[in-house]
Structures are given as structure tokens and as C-alpha cells.
Amino acid sequence: MKNFLSLFIASTLFTLFTACGNTPETAVTEASEAVTEAVTEAAEDATKTFGASFTAEEVVPANSLLTSYSENQLADTLQTTLQGKVNEVCQAKGCWMTIAAGDGEEMMVKFKDYGFFMPKDISGQEVVMHGMAYYQITPVDELRHYAEDAGKSAEEIAAITEPKRELHFLADGVKLLSGEM
């Protein structure tokens, strides 16, 4: 992206300085406007939105979710916007991801109405997501399915024998903040 931007700026400046009838002042102004436009487009490309568009106001760090809200507030559902680092993504089709929620707990993130998927190669990247946080009891067969999607070994999958109370997040929109698409 940087090489493209540099090439674009250089070719724009060359064209503007060599064009007929342009004064140096006009050429510099036009070049400045072209650079501003290119930088604005690059900034817009830096954030990729999946699902519903949303405004990221009052964003809570995902790794402090459990310390920011009481268990009673999370007993039903809590509408919120969280920011966190992606730990893992479904390697079958990107239909879920996990995010650290604090206190050593990981949060399972699914996408509203199965309406969008995330890129499978975003582990370690930051996201902002809008939706609902809640606890649920996840049955053994579903836990094994997730382990299979994550590429776990047959032994790791077979070791899952108990349902698990887990923190979940149903996202209606996710913004990928870092990394190349």
C-alpha cells in the first residue's frame, strides 16, 4: 500500500508540474489536494467492517469485560461495544472467533443471523464489535464441533466430556482494525 501511495504521489506531482498552462502554485495546490485524497482513502481502507455498520462510541476493552460488569448484568444480555484481540477464528469458514475477556476467560463470538463471516487469518489482530454479551451453557457436542473447526487433534476433541458455562458475544457488526485484507 505504501509503495502504491508513493508511486501515485510521484506520478501526480510529475504530471502536474509538466502539464501545459499550470503555474507552479496551481500545480502545488493540485498535488496537495491529490495527496490529501490518497491519504484519506488509505485511512478508510485501514478499517474493514463486517456485518452491520456501527459507530464505536463508549468502547469497553474486551479483556476488562468481566471486571467492568457484574455477573448479574451478564446474566441475561448486555448490549455493548467491545474492542479486543482475536485469539482464534473458525478455520472452516470464519463463522466464529474467540476474544480474551479477562480473568483468564475467553469469549466465543458468533455473528448475528449467520449473516457474515470473518477472514480466517486474523488471529492476533484487533477488532471492535457491537452486539450482545451473555453467558450460556455450551453442550459437549457443540464444544467438540468448535474444537474440530479450530483444527484440534482427535485426542483433544475426545477429551471434551462436560458441558461448559461460557461467555458469548453475538455481534451484529465487527470492525477489523489492523492487518492487511
pLDDT tens digits, 29-52? 454 454 444 433 444 445 799 999
Distance CA 121, CA 2 (A): 22
Instruction: Walk along the chain (181 residues) and give the pLDDT tens digit of each residue.
Output: 444 444 444 444 444 444 444 554 444 445 445 444 443 344 444 579 999 999 888 899 998 877 776 666 666 788 999 999 999 999 999 999 999 887 788 999 999 999 999 999 999 999 999 999 988 899 999 999 989 988 899 999 999 999 998 889 999 999 999 654 4
Residue-level pLDDT at 181: 45
Burial readout 129-168 (b: 16 or more C-beta within 10 A, e: otherwise): bbbbbeeeebeeebbbbbbebbeeeeeeeeebeeeeebbb
Residue-level pLDDT at 107: 92
Closest-CA residue to 97 (of 160, 157, 170, 159): 170
Distance CA 177, CA 7 (A): 25
Residue-level pLDDT at 7: 43
Distance CA 1, CA 158 (A): 45
Residue-level pLDDT at 121: 94
Residue-level pLDDT at 74: 63
Distance CA 108, CA 93 (A): 15
Helix, strand or coil, per DSSP, at residue 100 = strand
Burial readout 4-36 (b: 16 or more C-beta within 10 A, e: otherwise): eeeebeeebbeebeeeeeeeeeebeebbeebee
Residue-level pLDDT at 150: 85
- pTM for the full predicted model: 0.68
CB of 137 within 8 A of CB of 91? no
